[in-house]
């Protein structure tokens, strides 16, 4: 019988507490966040090159960032979300501490960042477009991407033991984060380049 625990870095994970389906949903939200950030950045880059960018460009950029915030908060922000890391890996798991160690961030920095993301989410959902409600400043999405890249590194190691324990075969997609991000950037750039010349 496969062991019911798995060491990742200096942390041990209880495989009995981890549902592979929840891991998959957690990871899908993470990837959606990164995909939305990359899309927003490429749209913004194209928009800045145009002498008079269309209002639709601003809307697409803002919507992409809003999706990124919503997806990040599903995984890291709101404890009540079904696929929040605490519900996926266990409230007492070392998942967050492993991410913070890999990103070299403190728990206070994470808490401040989390609150900033929650503030943006609250504005995007509850107050978007209301007169007298200036939008909050967007947090630095590089930290979100760094956290998600660290989560990828943890999952890459954890899934092997998780599959052995549950008797399943899972595949972590993408296999490597940075090349995936670079390919995504190139794909979006190509699409936007074709669109802008048509």
pLDDT at 195: 56
Of 81 and 168, the structure prediction assigns the larger pLDDT to 81
> Which among 47, 76, 77, 86 has a CA at the least distance from the CA of 64?
47
Q: Which residues face 14 on adjacent strands? A: 5
Is the pLDDT score of 71 beyond 60? yes
Rounded to 5°, angle at Cα 101 from 28 and 177: 35
pLDDT at 125: 66
């209002």: which residue's tokens?
55
pLDDT tens, position by position, 130-165: 566 666 788 899 999 999 999 999 898 888 888 777
197: left (phi > 0), else alpha (psi -120 to 50), else beta? alpha
pLDDT at 142: 96
């991000």: which residue's tokens?
181
Is the pLDDT score of 67 beyond 70? yes
Is the pLDDT score of 75 beyond 90? yes
pLDDT tens, position by position, 5-49: 666 766 677 787 888 889 999 999 999 999 999 999 998 888 888
pLDDT at 9: 67
Is the pLDDT score of 196 beyond 70? no
pLDDT at 114: 95
Q: Which residues lie closer than 8 Å to 40 by C-beta, 6 or more apart?
A: 61, 62, 64, 65, 68
Q: What is the mean pLDDT of residues 80-100?
A: 86
Between helices 141-166 and 55-72, what is the axis angle to 10°? 40
CA distance linking residue 67 with residue 35, whole number of Å: 9
DSSP state letter for 124: I
Pair 1, 133: CB distance under 8 Å: no
pLDDT at 7: 64
């Amino acid at each position: 019988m496969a062991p019911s625990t798995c060491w990742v870095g200096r942390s041990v994970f209880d495989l009995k507490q981890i549902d592979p389906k929840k891991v998959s949903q957690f990871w899908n939200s993470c990837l959606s966040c990164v995909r939305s950030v990359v899309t927003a950045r490429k749209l913004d880059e194209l928009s800045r090159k145009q002498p008079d960018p269309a209002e639709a460009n601003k809307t697409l950029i803002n919507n992409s960032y809003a999706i990124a915030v919503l997806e990040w908060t599903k995984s890291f922000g709101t404890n009540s979300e079904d696929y929040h890391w605490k519900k996926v890996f266990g409230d007492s798991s070392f998942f967050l501490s492993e991410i913070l160690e890999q990103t070299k961030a403190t728990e206070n920095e994470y808490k401040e960042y989390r609150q900033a993301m929650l503030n943006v989410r609250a504005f995007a959902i509850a107050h978007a477009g209301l007169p007298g409600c200036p939008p909050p400043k967007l947090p630095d999405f590089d930290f979100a991407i760094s956290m998600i890249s660290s989560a990828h590194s943890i999952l890459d190691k954890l899934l092997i033991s998780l599959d052995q324990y549950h008797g399943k075969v899972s595949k972590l997609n993408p296999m490597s984060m940075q090349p995936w991000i670079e390919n995504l950037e190139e794909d979006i750039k190509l699409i936007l380049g074709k669109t802008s010349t048509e």
